[in-house]
Chains A and B, each alone.
Chain A
Amino acid sequence: MTTPTRKHILRTFVVFVEDRPGVLNRAASLFRRRGYNIESLNVGQTHVPGVSRMTVVVEADEDTARRIEANLYKLVNVLEVQEITHASRIERELALIKVKAPPERRAELIQIAEVFRARIVDMSTDSMIFELSGSHDHIAGLAQVLGEFGIEEMVQTGSVAMSRGAAPPMTHLGRRPADLQ
Chain B
Amino acid sequence: MAFAKKSDTTKVPMTARSIDVSSEISGPSQIIPKAEAWPDRRGQVLTGSQIIWECLLRESVDVVFGYPGGAIMPLYDAMLEFPIHHVLVRHEQGGSHMADGYARASGRVGVCFGTSGPGATNLVTGIATAMLDSIPMVAITGQVHAHLLGSDAFQEVDITGVTLPITKHNYLVTNVDDIAPTLREAFYIARSGRPGPVLVDICKNAQQDKGVFLWDDGPVSLPGYRPSYIPRPRELDQALALINSAKKPVILAGQGIIRSNASDKLLEFAEATGIPVALTLLGLGAFPASHPQNLGMMGMHGEAWVNNAIQESDLLIAVGMRFDDRVTGKLATYAPYAKKIHIELDPSEINKNVKVDVPIIGDVRTVLATLTPHCTKADRGPWVARINASKGDSAVRDIQTLPDSGKLYAAHVIHDLWRATEGNALVVTDVGQHQMWEAQYYKHETPRSLLTSGGLGTMGFALPAAIGARFARPDADVWVVVGDGGFQMTACELSTLAQEDKKVNVAIINNGFLGMVRQWQQFFYGGRYVATPIRSPDFVKLAEAHGLEGRRVTMRSEVIETVLWAKSRPGTVVIDFRVEQEDAVYPMVPAGADLHDMIRRDSPKATTVSGAPAAHNPIFETGEDE
Residues of A within 8 A of B (CB): 17-18, 21-22, 25-26, 29, 33, 63, 66-67, 69-71, 73-81, 83, 171-173, 175, 177, 180
Contacts and interface: CB of A to CB of B under 8 A. Distances in A.
A172 B21 CA distance: 12
Contacts of B14: 66, 69-70
B165 A17 contact: no
Contacts of A172: 15-16, 19, 226
B224 A76 contact: yes
19 contacts: A18-B224, A25-B161, A63-B351, A66-B13, A66-B14, A66-B350, A66-B351, A67-B348, A73-B15, A73-B226, A74-B346, A75-B224, A76-B222, A76-B225, A77-B224, A80-B224, A172-B15, A172-B226, A177-B223
B25 to A, nearest CB: 13
The 4 tightest CB contacts between A and B, nearest first, are A70-B348, A70-B347, A79-B224, A171-B16
B397 interface: no
Contacts of B347: 66, 70, 73
A69 B160 contact: no
Nearest to B224: A79
Interface residues of B, number: 25
A73 B224 CA distance: 8
Given A67-B352, A70-B347, A70-B348, A22 B160 contact: yes
B165 A173 contact: no
Nearest to B161: A25
Contacts of A171: 16
Interface in B326-372: 346-348, 350-352, 355
Contacts of B160: 22
A177 B347 CA distance: 22
B559 interface: no
Contacts of B13: 66, 69, 83
A173 B348 contact: no
Contacts of B2: none
Nearest to A16: B224
Contact of B19 (A22, A33, A173): A173
A25 B15 contact: no
B352 A78 contact: no
A18 B223 contact: yes
A79 B226 CA distance: 9
Interface string B130-172: 0000000000000000000000000000001100110011001
B316 interface: no
B355 A74 contact: no
Contact of B189 (A26, A70, A76): A76
A70 B350 contact: yes
A132 to B, nearest CB: 34
Given A26-B164, A66-B14, A175 B223 contact: yes
Contact of A173 (B164, B169, B223, B352): B223
B15 A69 contact: yes
Interface string B576-606: 0000000000000000000000000000000
Given A73-B347, A76-B189, A25 B16 contact: no
Q: Is the interface of B mostly helix, strand, loop or mixed?
A: loop
Nearest to B347: A70
Nearest to B226: A73
Contacts of A78: 224
Contacts of B161: 25
A74 B352 CA distance: 15
Interface string B11-47: 0011110010000000000000000000000000000
Contacts of B351: 63, 66-67
A73 B345 CA distance: 13
B169 A76 contact: yes
Given A67-B348, A74-B348, A17 B224 contact: yes
A35 to B, nearest CB: 12
Interface in B223-238: 223-226
Nearest to B174: A21
A163 B15 CA distance: 19
Contacts of B169: 76
Nearest to B355: A63
Contacts of A66: 13-15, 347, 350-351
Task: Specify which of A33, A67, A80, A180 lies most central, judged by the most chain B CB atoms within 10 Å of its CB.
Answer: A67
Contacts of B225: 76
A107 to B, nearest CB: 52
- Of residues B223, B350, B351, which shows the largest number of chain A Cβ atoms within 10 Å of its Cβ? B223
A160 B161 CA distance: 27
Nearest to B194: A74
Nearest to B189: A76
A171 B168 CA distance: 23
Contacts of A18: 223-224
Q: Which of A70, A71, A83, A177 has the most CB of B within 10 A?
A: A70
Nearest to A25: B164
Contacts of A173: 19, 223, 226
Contacts of A79: 223-224
Task: Determine which residue in A76, A171, A172 has the highest number of CB atoms from chain B within 10 A of its CB, and name it.
Answer: A76
B576 to A, nearest CB: 41
A49 to B, nearest CB: 14
Contacts of B223: 18, 79, 173, 175, 177, 180
A63 B189 CA distance: 27
